[in-house]
Chains A and B, each alone.
Chain A
Amino acid sequence: MRILIVEDEPDLLASLAQALREEGYAVDTADNGDDGLFNAEGTDYDAIVLDVMLPGMDGWEILRRLRKSKKTPILMLTARDQTRDRVRGLDTGADDYVVKPFDLEEVFARLRAIIRRSHDKTTNLVEIGDVTVDTAARVVSLKRHPVELTAREYTLVEFLALHRGEVVTRTQLYEHLFDENESSLSNLLDVHVSNVRKKLGAEFIVTRRGHGYCIE
């Protein structure tokens, strides 16, 4: 899962990015509105965390412009807590709204929820044969026994599970699993796929030659 954070307060941006990376997300950051919109339009993020008060273009403007081309789930982050601000945010196309100061746990939960909704899922559990993926607890079980996966392996499984039945290209996987600083390591993906097959069964991830990977 790849997430963009647009926030101008450097200390807040740094700690949010660190926390989300530790949660297993690939995280890109922008500290002003113009860079934020540029990133958001150029990459298919799984979610965007967007501050309202930003230098340059503000959050409302980014939201308005982005909604012309993208349906990326957006979590607004703002110090304004009046109802009319929330209504405005939601009406402009935000998927959810968190008021500063917030608890990280709440931000994580809301992010999971908007990502889940964007994949038309109603629960955190995805069952694929003997394998169960719990996207809230970030745990994958095989025949009800938890399987130890690295954070990157987990996000690979989660992404393919959320796109179950679809062929996911290597480019898509790179875009969603790695942030902008690490996406050039091309054989890294093969290593992760191979590791997951060892742990969950060789047929769990199917390779479609010339297209990509798929969970059926």
Chain B
Amino acid sequence: MIPKSIKWRLQLWYGLILVAVLVGFGVTAYQLERNRVFRRVDDDLHRRANAVAQSLHRPPRGRPPDAPDQRGFPPPEPFDRENAPGPDGPPTFNLAPPIAALFDTNDASGFYFLIRSLRPGHAEIARSANAPKDAGTQFPEPPARPQDAETGPPPGDISGDDRGSARGEIPGEPPQPVMRGSCRELMLLTPLGESVLVGKNVSPELTELRRSALNLSAIGGVILFIGLAGGRVLVGRALRPISDISHTAAKIAAGDLSQRINSAGTGSELGQLAAVLNATFARLETAFAQQKQFASDAAHELRTPVSVILTQTQTALTRERDAASYRQTVEACQRAAQRMRKLIESLLELARFDAGQEALKRLDFDLSATVADCVELVQPLAEERRVKISAELKPLRITGDSERLAQVVTNLLTNAIQFNRPDGEARVKLEAREGLAVLEISDTGQGIAPDDLPHVFERFYRADKSRTGAGNSGLGLAICKAIVEAHSGVIEVSSGEKAGTTFTVRLPLAI
């Protein structure tokens, strides 16, 4: 069974590949060495076999008998084939001394030869003293030749490329040395009817090769061990950051969102992964904190109206009351319910903006007309609070949802009236500036304290704690911001204490 861990699988594959490479390399090296050793032996065998074979035939006609042949061998001693011994005849044949010197007959591991007649009976013509008894038994019995060997193929040089034709069997196929036990032997058939077998006991070479193989195996084993150990260390080091990451991720999964992965080596792929994960965790943490705060705030906002309903109804039910008293209770409950409805609507609206699900219309319209409508809408409230509204509106076309933007304008105007002083002024100004529609709504009220100013667009943040009444959910400016930003716009606030507050909305003009 293959282990599941990447570390072990990597090591397993690495080990298998390493073994394959080492075995391939070792086998190749051994083969090369073996070929080299045997080629040397084979060359010697061929050389000796040819020398022996040549010494058996007469020199070609028209050639001086004492002229040395191409390879410097002395002219062979004529061999009296007619008087060659029969199958039972004693070996009376002797090689010429220079050729005999090629065979060290005293050395058990040296070269040996065996010459036999191809005539029926295969009588042995000559053999060296160190030739084993079973020499040549691995070769198939050569076909016997008739007596009149002269009718055979004309004599030729049995050497070099022509060696194959000497056997008169398969032209072009040179005779190949064959192993017999620990001996390597080569058999040539001369055209005149002899088989020449030359052999060598290659035990020393085989021993040498075995030692080489052992050496190669030992070196391969050491390299394999070092490679595996090094691989283990490398794999461990390469995978260490992954286990760090998974540890940290596990902690985060367990709920501790403040944990971060150590991304010291940010250059590597894993460092980049750690950085990406950290950024994701940071976003998650922020989103979680915001979500928690939002839920807690929403619950908090709902507590007050629920308290009103509970207290009102519990008080009303303690005893019998008159109709007017019940009516008061019901009205108070209705006010509380309205407040909850408004809160829930605002929360849902914000949630839709958060999720990007709020469907906004994308139509060209004149923003100044929308603003003028809003001014008209809040006029009664302004009169009630004795606030004068002055509007300076230039016609501007923008693309977007006029109803949603009217909601923003109305909200800002209502604030400008409610936070104004009596006999104060609310100014509305709309103009094009730097390619943007710029709407400014300012009041002459108390202004917002510098501490509160950065927070006014936060959900449930109330700069003035007194406005916890039914009309104010603490979400109005947060919704304004969401709507403006959904129109690719910006909303800003500036305020000086006692100098009034100005809200500025910038929106892209219609193209």
Contacts and interface: CB of A to CB of B under 8 A. Distances in A.
Nearest to A82: B296
Given A55-B466, A55-B468, A100 B304 contact: yes
Interface of B: 296, 300-301, 303-304, 306-312, 314-316, 318-319, 329, 332, 335-336, 464-469
Given A9-B304, A22-B319, A104 B314 contact: yes
Contact of B465 (A11, A53, A82): A53
B314 A19 contact: yes
Given A14-B332, A15-B312, A101-B310, A79 B465 contact: no
Interface string A1-13: 0000000110110
Contacts of B332: 11, 14-15
A16 B316 CA distance: 11
A84 to B, nearest CB: 12
Given A79-B300, A100-B303, A19 B311 contact: yes
A8 B308 contact: no
Given A8-B468, A58-B465, A79-B300, A104 B308 contact: no
A15 to B, nearest CB: 4
Contact of B318 (A12, A19, A32, A101): A19
Given A22-B318, A104-B310, 15 more contacts: A9-B468, A11-B335, A12-B311, A15-B311, A15-B312, A15-B315, A19-B311, A19-B318, A22-B315, A56-B466, A79-B304, A80-B300, A100-B306, A102-B307, A105-B314
A194 interface: no
A95 B399 CA distance: 58
B317 to A, nearest CB: 10
Contact of A100 (B307, B315, B464): B307
A12 B332 CA distance: 9
Contact of A16 (B301, B306, B311, B318): B311
Given A14-B332, A19-B318, A22-B319, A55 B464 contact: yes
Contacts of A55: 464-468
A79 B308 CA distance: 12
B304 A12 contact: yes
Query: Which 5 residue pairs of A and B lie closest in terms of their CB atoms, listed nearest first?
Result: A55-B466, A79-B303, A11-B332, A101-B306, A101-B307
A53 B314 CA distance: 23
Interface string A142-174: 000000000000000000000000000000000
A8 B466 contact: yes
Contacts of A58: 465
Interface residues of A, number: 26
20 contacts: A12-B304, A12-B308, A12-B311, A12-B312, A15-B316, A15-B329, A16-B311, A19-B311, A19-B314, A19-B315, A55-B465, A79-B301, A79-B307, A100-B303, A101-B306, A102-B307, A102-B311, A103-B310, A104-B315, A105-B314
B452 to A, nearest CB: 14
A123 interface: no
Nearest to B318: A22
Contacts of B307: 9, 12, 79, 100-102
Contacts of B303: 79, 99-101
A18 interface: yes
A54 interface: yes
Nearest to A9: B304
Contacts of A16: 311, 315
A53 B461 CA distance: 12
A82 B296 CA distance: 9
Contacts of A101: 303, 306-307, 309-310
Contact of A32 (B301, B311, B335, B466): B466
B330 to A, nearest CB: 11
A10 to B, nearest CB: 8
A14 B331 CA distance: 13
A15 B296 CA distance: 26
Nearest to A33: B465
A35 to B, nearest CB: 12
Contacts of B469: 8-9
A128 B269 CA distance: 86
B466 A18 contact: no
Contacts of A12: 304, 307-308, 311-312
Interface in A65-124: 79-80, 82, 99-105
Contacts of A18: 315
B300 to A, nearest CB: 5
Contact of B336 (A11, A54, A56, A79): A11
Contact of B468 (A11, A53, A104): A53
